[in-house]
Amino acid sequence: MATYRIRHCEQLSGEVSIHTAKNAVLPLLCAALLTREPITIERVPMLTDVETLLEILSECGVNISRNGDELTLWSDEPQSPTSENLLARMRASVLVMGPLLARTGYARVALPGGCAIGQRPIDLHLKGMQALGAEVHLTPGSVTLQGTLHGGNVYLDFPSVGATENILLAAVLAKGSTRIENAAKEPEIIDLCAFLNDMGAKISGGGTGTIFVEGRESLHGCTYRPIPDRIEAGTILCASAMTEGSVLLRGARPDHMRALLFKLGETGVTLRESPAGLRLTGRASQPIQVRTLAYPGFPTDMQAPMMALSLCLRGTSVFLETIFENRFMHAREMVRLGANIRIEDRIALVNGGHALAGTTVSSTDLRGGAAMMLSGLVAEGETVLLDPAGHIARGYENLPGMLRSLGADVTVEEIPGEEIHG
Ligand code: EPZ
């Protein structure tokens, strides 16, 4: 769907505004299945993952009206989506399971395709639905759930973001109270809890390891503005730190980014928070050790952009990827630029500070693709980044445009017939 051309860039400077968080918006959109009253979500980012989910939701009977970047959604008679290929196309489609089951007593969803970065099982989602009283029937490629939901207690073996979201989206209409232990604590979870409470739900403990939900008979509509995208913000900060950067992020939430900001500080750049926004100045130089963890630990989605930054750090940086089993694919593309990276299972050793030479590389997944765009900024000459699957446009509204506004030379070659934001 896209080919990017990135030229070496000595300095990024200026300011950019951060878009609304993809991983906050996706579960909010699924909440439209919970009520016949309209929910309005402001500043929805233009992302292919959002468009795909909207296609799935309209197959589920959700009505959608757009007013610029403001979406209003409501569902009179929701039902399970039928087109398997749509469901298999993205991970977040699994989040229609909980609200459909809660609203209609039935849900049939295709097992979401694993993706490049890992198997992506949904056993914890299903464990949660069973704790709320659902009968679960697995068939090849899909899962069917049915039953009238009642409150229940569930312990998540891993603080899964998606499983926590699915259980929340079901428990809000279950009869009785639910407790989720070892729940995910991500900012996107707190946002979903706040949004559902605005719809009349009764949730407490969002952002802590234990969340309590008092089920309600029904929920009503609301208008909501979701949080900014901490991963987009972090990606721009990494790009700035790879050059002689002086970049101001408007609308970011530094309180959602503590682990990343501390790690960036260890590279030797300066970070300042002010009413105007979050500013990074200086060029990173010191090698780092990164261990990805569930929030509030270092976010796995920032591992690839941070590895791009480590190419500029003289010495050996170490990355331990504890969340996904196959999230180093971008490393082999960086090696094509001349990077010195050694992978041992879930550990990557990056010997940085050496010259890199532009060549043709590929986007392996969403965050890996973004990392390769950043890597092109520090490679000599021109780097051609092939992104036939359109990974980057799935999760970044306009990464090339944001980098260009800061002085980078990044162009997009569109393939006729495919809309690209950039
Ligand atoms: C969400 O994915 C995000 N996606 C991911 O962002 C993010 O990397 C991830 O959380 C971790 O923060 C969205 O929010 C749409 P998990 P999710 O359930 O919910 C295992 C991006 O780049 N697991 O927390 O799928 C799973 O295999 C994307 O924007 C089970 O074993 O993540 C993985 O190893 C990539 N069983 C780990 O937990 C389950 O039932 C984390 O998964 C569910 C998950």
- Span 269-293, average pLDDT: 97
Cβ atoms of 108 and 93 closer than 8 Å: no
pLDDT exceeds 50 at position 417: no
- Span 103-132, average pLDDT: 87
Q: If you count them, how many residues does the chain have?
A: 422
pLDDT for the residue 91: 64
- In angstroms, the CA 243 to CA 236 distance is 11
The dihedral sign for the CA sequence 206, 211, 214, 219: positive
Q: If we measure between CA atoms, which residue out of 294, 351, 288, 350 comes closest to residue 322?
A: 294
Tell me the CA–centroid distance for residue 125 and ligand 1, in Å: 11
pLDDT band for position 420 (cuts 50, 70, 90): very low
Q: Which residue in the block uniquely carries the two structure tokens 């971008």?
A: 330
Tell me the CA–centroid distance for residue 160 and ligand 1, in Å: 6
Catalytic residue numbers, as ranges: 115
Average pLDDT over the chain reads 94
Q: Does the Cβ of 321 fall within 6 Å of ligand 1?
A: no
Q: Does the Cβ of 301 fall within 6 Å of ligand 1?
A: yes
pLDDT for the residue 421: 45
Give, using CA atoms, the residue closest to atom 9 of ligand 1: 161
pLDDT for the residue 93: 86
Structure-token pair, residue 53? 């989910």
Q: Does the Cβ of 366 fall within 6 Å of ligand 1?
A: yes
For residue 245, give the 3-state DSSP assignment. Answer: strand
Q: What is the model's pTM?
A: 0.96
Which atom in ligand 1 lies closest to the alpha carbon of residue 127? Answer: 40
Give, using CA atoms, the residue closest to atom 1 of ligand 1: 161
Which atom in ligand 1 lies closest to the alpha carbon of residue 49? Answer: 15
Q: Does the Cβ of 157 fall within 6 Å of ligand 1?
A: no
Digit-coded pLDDT (tens) for 243-275? 998 999 999 999 999 999 999 999 999 999 999
Q: Does the Cβ of 303 fall within 6 Å of ligand 1?
A: no
- In angstroms, the CA 242 to CA 75 distance is 46
pLDDT for the residue 422: 43
Q: If we measure between CA atoms, which residue out of 387, 384, 319 comes closest to residue 358?
A: 384
Please list the alpha-helical segments (H only) found in 148-257: 161-171, 187-198, 230-242
Counting Cβ atoms within 10 Å, is residue 421 exposed (0-12), middle (13-18) or buried (19+)? middle
Digit-coded pLDDT (tens) for 15-34? 999 999 999 999 999 999 99
Q: Probe ligand 1: pick from 91, 119, 156, 161, max atoms within 8 Å of CB?
A: 161
pLDDT for the residue 116: 73
Render 247-308 in DSSP notation, one character per residue.
EEEES--GGG-HHHHHHHHHTT-EEEEETTEEEEEE---S--EEEE-STTSB-GGGHHHHHH
DSSP summary character for residue 190: H
Q: If we measure between CA atoms, which residue out of 91, 92, 112, 86 comes closest to residue 31?
A: 92
Sheet with 142-146: list strands edge to edge. 106-110, 142-146, 135-139
pLDDT exceeds 90 at position 85: no
Q: Does the Cβ of 158 fall within 6 Å of ligand 1?
A: yes
- In angstroms, the CA 219 to CA 199 distance is 5
Q: Does the Cβ of 239 fall within 6 Å of ligand 1?
A: no
